[in-house]
Structure 1
Amino acid sequence: MSKTAFLFPGQGSQFVGMGKSIYETHPQAKETIDSADETLGYSLSALMFNGPEEDLKRTENAQPALLTMSTALCELVQKQGITADYTAGHSLGEYSALVAAGVIPFEKAAELVHQRGLFMEEAVPAGVGTMAAVMGVERDELKKITEHVSQTSEPVQLANLNAPGQIVISGEREAVEKAGEMAKEQGAKRVIPLQVSGPFHSTLMEPAKEKLADVLEPVPFQAAGVPVITNVSAKEETSAAELKKQLVNQVTSPVYWEDTVRRLLELEVTNFIEIGPGNVLSGLVRRVQRRGINVFAVQDEESLHKAVKKIKEES
């Protein structure tokens, strides 16, 4: 019998207009999105539907917007009788994965990711840190480069290990640029600076990690109804205490996404359903494994029905 994993995207997948079509056509999705507005005390839905883009992509807005759309879509997938054997989310997407697994209620998650976004924005002054995607260098070689640069200047480290030969580095701006140049000398095909507001998943995020730990400490977590593959370990986890600990560590630790996909394949998952705006994770899954699996990106009514039809035909 085939196994299914729900995958949830992280920051950067947001776009103006996100969620509007399902809000207008599905009362359940409308209820979820309205509940985010009420929980946060401002009209997140207006930013999602109408922008402006500059405000939507601010970390404290983008994070709850992505959580909200992913959760609303996930509820529609589940309503069609599709259930997950495992969940996983890329960085911020791990919160959506926890909601889907019954670890924390959606409203509490919306509060948390809004605060997480604020903490991440405040952790490092604007312009001090950055991130860059490095294509065509394997992780061991790139890790040696970042360690060398960190020892000789400012910190830089591996941040998102997304797929074979696709790794994001993060840290102090000059250190990231220096590591990128060294990577090119070692044969990197491309080094692409990312348009981000900070050096996420690096040690420079330590102030955000400490604040998030304080906020998370009193929040009750439930044991996961289905295992969650966490960013930090790339292993399945159901323990409430361990999942909370991993959320804190995630702020400064790399996202082991390639390892997450490989673990899901080891667990015999054949249906990978990306739930939320965009199809970035779907592309990364295909870079790890092309054959013998079904990969879907559910982001609107059309893609929802397409995925549901295909999965039901094969079940």
Structure 2
Amino acid sequence: MTLAILCSGQGRQHRDMFALTGDAPEAARLFAHAATLLGGGDPREFVRRESDETLHRNRAGQILCTLQALAAAAALGDAVPRGAIVAGYSVGEVAAWGVCGLLEATVTLDLVARRAEAMDAATCVGDGLVFVRGLSREQVDRLCERHGAAIAIVNPGGAFVIGGDREALGQIAAEARAMHGARVVALPVEVASHTERLAGAYVAFREALRLAPVLFPPSTGARILSGVDAAPVVSRETGLDKLAAQISQTVQWADCLQACVEAGATGFLELGPGHALSGMAADIAPGLPARSLDDFRSLEGVRTWLSRHVSP
């Protein structure tokens, strides 16, 4: 049986996001390393004490969400079966490289910090993202063309994340509501991720990746999917090219979930924070178990679920 591991993107950070992983001895060094990237503040205290605005700033958000995925993987250890399929949403794709063993965990955190810094440097003040559900791809394409925006992420069920400047996104949101879009929401993200507006960040991040020590193929036997085309990563250089390009290209997340199913996934576990990805997985594959770490009250509960649903 095959587990699909889903690594969350930023946007769902919350006060209790490290409730299961924060005290895991296997993850202690990761929290200590992340603290050095957050100005010396313990990430577990950081999420409890800082304002919502601070939690959702681009750099902090990317570090926190990546830390959660890496800490969860470390804490679960051998409970995660070999040969898992691993896919990551937005910055979660970098976390996925760490989870499956292509990158060492502290290196992954360092790269995420560099990624966020490159994105911030390339971002225009006022850029952001808006979520639209309930319109066709053609309708969304026309809205983007009319207002100089772009589709950042394609989610299942006719759901799209659109990137651009806030003025354009406000006009798109108003028109989408007038066209009876089922849900239109501005996202708490300060960059137009996965659009050409971040082309400069792609160049900087690709250079950082060029210097990164990568273990390919991963010793875990995991299969990792690329966000830009949902294809398995089959070589170091091609994989790194796509990982960098994802900053300024559309993420095909609906295709990634479908690729997990077609590759034989028999269950989904989202590492969090939040449960947006496991919810999408449940929608596209209702016959398969799909849970998020945030659904459980203890790591032992996660291990029990894994042993019942996806262990050999």
Q: Same fold by TM (over 0.5)?
A: yes
- The answer to whether the Cα contact below 8 Å between 2:129 and 2:164 also exists between their aligned partners in 1 is yes
- The answer to whether the Cα contact below 8 Å between 1:22 and 1:30 also exists between their aligned partners in 2 is no
Please report the TM-score for the alignment, with normalisation by the length of structure 2. Answer: 0.89
2:259 — aligned with what?
Answer: 263
Instruction: Kindly report the root-mean-square deviation, in angstroms, between the aligned alpha carbons of the 2 structures.
Output: 2.2
Q: 5+ unaligned residues in a row in structure 1: which ranges?
A: none
- The answer to whether the Cα contact below 8 Å between 1:9 and 1:90 also exists between their aligned partners in 2 is yes
1:112 — aligned with what?
Answer: 111
Change (3 A) 1:44 1:199: farther
Which of 134, 137, 140 is the matching residue for 2:138? 140
1:33 — aligned with what?
Answer: 31
Which of 202, 206, 213 is the matching residue for 2:199? 206
Instruction: Pick which of 97-106 and 211-220 moved more.
Output: 211-220
Amino acid of the structure 2 residue aligned with 1:78: G
Please report the TM-score for the alignment, with normalisation by the length of structure 1. Answer: 0.88
Which of 256, 260, 273 is the matching residue for 2:269? 273
- 1: CA distance between counterparts of 2:142 and 2:51? 41
Give the deviation of 1:181 after TM superposition. Answer: 3.8
The answer on 1:162 being equivalent to 2:155 is: yes
- 1: CA distance between counterparts of 2:80 and 2:28? 20
Question: Secondary structure in 1 aligned to 2:172?
Answer: helix
Which of 165, 171, 179 is the matching residue for 2:164? 171
- 2: CA distance between counterparts of 1:119 and 1:180? 28
Question: Secondary structure in 2 aligned to 1:130?
Answer: strand
Amino acid of the structure 2 residue aligned with 1:105: E
Instruction: Pick which of 164-173 and 5-14 moved more.
Output: 164-173
Change (3 A) 1:125 1:39: closer
- 2: CA distance between counterparts of 1:136 and 1:80? 38
Alignment of 1:4-83 (within 5 A): 4-24=3-23, 26-38=24-36, 42-45=40-43, 46-83=45-82
1:89 — aligned with what?
Answer: 88
Question: Secondary structure in 1 aligned to 2:132?
Answer: strand
Question: Secondary structure in 1 aligned to 2:297?
Answer: helix
- 2: CA distance between counterparts of 1:276 and 1:235? 23
Give the deviation of 1:185 after TM superposition. Answer: 4.6
Change (3 A) 1:59 1:122: same
Q: 1:111-146: per-residue Cα shift (whole Å, max 9, x none)?
A: 11112112222222322x221111101223322332
- 1: CA distance between counterparts of 2:114 and 2:96? 18
Q: 5+ unaligned residues in a row in structure 2: which ranges?
A: none
1:236 — aligned with what?
Answer: 232
Amino acid of the structure 2 residue aligned with 1:67: T
- The answer to whether the Cα contact below 8 Å between 1:40 and 1:110 also exists between their aligned partners in 2 is no
Question: Secondary structure in 1 aligned to 2:9?
Answer: coil
Amino acid of the structure 1 residue aligned with 2:301: K
Question: Secondary structure in 2 aligned to 1:55?
Answer: helix
Which of 289, 299, 303 is the matching residue for 1:304? 299
The answer on 1:247 being equivalent to 2:246 is: no
Equivalences, count: 306
Amino acid of the structure 2 residue aligned with 1:312: S
